[in-house]
Amino acid sequence: MTTELVQETCTPCRGGIPPLTAAEAARYHVEAPDWALLNDSRQIERTFWFANFREALTFVQRVGDLAESEHHHPDIAFGWGRATVSLQTKKIKGLHKTTSSWRRRLTSLPCNPAHKHVSSVRVPVDREH
């Protein structure tokens, strides 16, 4: 769990590769406490907060570009001032060490200094925007 994981590319699982155990996932989670560890340690999720819709959309587009280049496609939900990204290696129905490296690349995407990142805290969104 060092910086070499940041440089690892996510290779699509071909099956037969076990997901991280709950203990292994917890070790990776220590390095990224701002990501929530969900679904019996099979998924990680983070909500990113932005100043407006345009910033959230730009972030989602960057995530999409990264996802296409890595062949690792997260679930993304976004709206005015927020984007929630959920990661799981779907082929193995869990997390893999490359999921952690992908998360690091996603978190290091260029962001406007005004961006405020908060982990999976659910707050009501003002629908009047």
Q: What are the pLDDT digits (tens) for 18-33? A: 888 889 888 888 888 8
Task: Kindly list the distances between the CA atom of residue 70 and the CA atoms of 39, 41, 82, 98, 117, in Å, as whole numbers in the listed order.
Answer: 24, 22, 23, 10, 23
pLDDT at 47 over 90: yes
User: Distance between CA 83 and CA 92 in Å, rounded?
Assistant: 25
CATH T-level assignment (fold) for domain 38-120: Gyrase A; domain 2 (3.30.1360)
Query: Do 11 and 98 meet the contact criterion of CB atoms below 8 Å apart?
Result: yes
pLDDT at 122 over 60: no
What count of other Cβ atoms lies within 10 Å of the Cβ of residue 59?
A: 23
pTM of the model: 0.72
Q: What is the pLDDT of residue 34?
A: 86
